[in-house]
Amino acid sequence: MGYFSEIYQGAKSLVIGMRISLDQFLKNFRGDYNTPYPHKTLPIPERYRGHIIFTNDEAGKSLCIACKSCERACPSACILVEGEKKEGEKKKSATLFELNYTTCSLCGACVEVCPTDALTFSKRYNLANTSKAVYAKIDLIKDLENRMQKK
């Protein structure tokens, strides 16, 4: 009797395994898992964290006041901020804001500590390049100017 019980259990296990394998095989043909990437992309989740970028006011200018709190809060020491108070302006403004994305840990400390909410995470995800030097110094001021020109 034990002999037939083992044969039955083995056959049952085989049928269950084959059913799961067939189900997964058929899902690939229905398009449940595969996305033809360059032609079609999946929606980016709301909480996705790309590298940091500047936010802007209505005039298109950066909200950064060059207080350097983001530079001090960064555990990776990948942010460099310099600023000056220009004539006719009430607040200091950033003249240099560089991000070394190769060492950034995307922790969000800089975004949280910013008193003017000048920093936010981008939704950029396709940042492939053959040279590491491209991401060693990302100029956020120039990046904001480029984004404003595109609008």
pTM: 0.69
Give pLDDT tens digits along the chain (151 positions).
788 999 999 999 999 999 999 988 887 777 656 677 888 888 889 999 999 999 988 888 889 999 999 999 999 999 999 999 888 888 888 999 999 999 999 999 999 999 999 999 999 888 888 988 889 999 999 999 999 898 7
The total number of residues shown for the chain amounts to 151
**Partners of 53 in the beta sheet?**
120
DSSP state at residue 92: -
CA-CA-CA-CA torsion sign (2, 8, 9, 14):
positive
SS3 assignment, position 14: helix
